[in-house]
Amino acid sequence: MTTGASSPTAAARPVLTTREVSITYEVNPPVEAVKDVSLTLERGEILGLAGESGCGKTTLAYGMNRLLKAPAVMRSGQVTFHDASGTDIDVTTLDGEALRRFRWDKVSMVFQGSMNSLNPVMNVRTQLGDVFTTHRPGMSRAERDQRCAELLDLVGVDPRRMSAFPHELSGGMRQRVMIAMALALEPQVMIMDEPTTALDVVVQRGIVRQLMRLRERLGFAVIFITHDLPLLIEISDRIAIMKDGRIVEEATAEEIYRTPQDAYTRQLLASFPSLTGARGGFVRSGSPVEPGPTPAGGQ
């Protein structure tokens, strides 16, 4: 099995760091969805974030990009974006216009289930163009159309489909349009939350291969969130394993695959069927954890 991905633009200086981030859902009783998580994303690398549903992956991603909504509250910690210009941005202090400029321009996100997030009554041209209307108001309509066509071609969609409505596109094409939207402003970081969920295996692989090519060409860093650990081992430079709101292990993809240190990581690996042997069972050691009800978004 091939493990890990090359990071052609990786440098010593990271692009995004989180330090002791804790996020709580203020319900009754409160749910601690993320607990003292510290991560470093190197420039140009793919960092995989793996764990079972409900472990806090999506909540952490929303916290990194300041997208949390009530009842979720970041109780403590710091998120710092290290801009290519050399400026450090404390993401937790951004608000108003500064926060609007930061999103999509510096860090973009492909949301869980995003292929169903396109507006059904607007064509692809209008939805892609809205990114530039909002963030690049000085662009002419002709410039927006040209850029939209370039983006679609970049992600493997025929630019002639700009006039198409979402229902006229396959699931894989809709997902590619969402990736094009996330790439529109040439961000330095892309957070991808379960980007291939609900797609068949062949389409999933096509999108992942396209993502790898784009990363190599454009040099952005990726946080790839999924519970598909074998996929992360194949495409990631490093992998962080999340359980019950905490990072229990972080290592290179090669080390996770060959010498996992945490029992939970070994259990995750054993839960996937082998092509050459019997399927392993996924049985968590110890007593079941009862964290209480997890509101929507605490994935």
DSSP state of 92: G
Among 133, 161, 186, the domain-final residue is 186
* CA dihedral over 74, 96, 189, 108, signed as positive or negative: positive
Name the DSSP letter for residue 213: H
Instruction: Kindly state whether residue 114 falls inside one of the protein's structural domains.
Output: no
Domain-located, residue 192: yes
Examine the fold and report which residue of 135, 163, 186 is the final residue of a domain before the chain moves on: 186
Q: How far is C-alpha 115 from the geometric centre of its chain's CA atoms? A: 14
On whether both 101 and 218 belong to a single domain, the answer is yes
Residues 197 and 293 in one domain: yes
Looking at residue 277, what is its pLDDT? 53
Q: Which token pair is 9? A: 């633009």
Q: Is residue 113 part of a domain?
A: no
Q: Are residues 166 and 220 in the same domain?
A: no
Question: What is the tally of helices (H) and strands (E) in the chain?
Answer: 9, 10
**pTM to 2 decimal places:** 0.86
Residue 260 · residue 249 · CB < 8 Å: yes
pLDDT value of residue 227: 86
Instruction: Quote the domain boundaries for residue 162.
Output: 119-186
What is the DSSP secondary-structure string of 113-176?
Answer: TGGG-S-TTS-HHHHHHHHHHHH-TT--HHHHHHHHHHHHHHTT--GGGGG--GGGS-HHHHHH
**According to the model, what pLDDT value does residue 22 have?**
98
- Same domain membership, residue 251 and residue 148: no
What integer pLDDT is reported at residue 151 of this predicted model? Answer: 95
pLDDT of res. 6: 54
- The CA–CA distances, whole Å, from 46 to 5, 7, 86, 117, 213 equal 7, 7, 21, 24, 12
Instruction: Tell me: do 207 and 84 sit in the same domain.
Output: yes
Whether 80 and 30 share a structural domain: yes
What pLDDT is recorded for position 101? 86
What lies within 8 Å, CB to CB, of 42 at 6+ separation is 7, 10, 11, 14, 15, 221, 237
Q: Is 292 helix (H, G, I), strand (E, B) or coil?
A: coil
Q: CB count, 10 Å around CB of 60?
A: 29
Does residue 289 lie within any of the structural domains? yes
Distance, CA of 291 to CA of 43 (rounded, Å): 35
Total structural domains in the chain? 2
Q: What is the pLDDT along the chain (299 residues), one digit of tens a residue?
A: 666 665 444 446 899 999 999 999 999 999 999 999 999 999 999 999 999 989 999 999 999 999 999 999 999 999 999 999 999 999 999 998 899 889 889 999 998 776 678 899 999 999 999 999 999 999 999 999 999 999 999 999 999 999 999 999 998 899 999 999 999 999 999 999 988 777 788 888 888 889 999 999 999 999 999 988 989 999 999 999 999 999 999 999 999 999 999 999 999 998 877 655 554 443 433 333 344 444 444 55
Q: Are residues 196 and 224 in the same domain?
A: yes
Q: Let me know whether 130 and 264 are in one domain.
A: no
What letters, b where the CB count within 10 A reaches 16 and e where it falls short, cover 124-162?
bbebbbebbeeeeeeeeeeebbebbbebbebbbbebebb
Cβ–Cβ < 8 Å for 262, 248? yes
Judged by DSSP in three states, 255 sits in helix
Q: Are 38 and 76 in contact (CB under 8 A)?
A: no
Task: Please say which residue of 130, 164, 186 terminates a domain.
Answer: 186
Q: Based on the domain organization, do 196 and 146 belong to the same domain?
A: no
Other CB atoms within a 10 A radius of the CB of residue 205 amount to: 14
- 131, 184 contact by CB (below 8 A): yes
Cis omega before residue 260 (within 30°)?
no
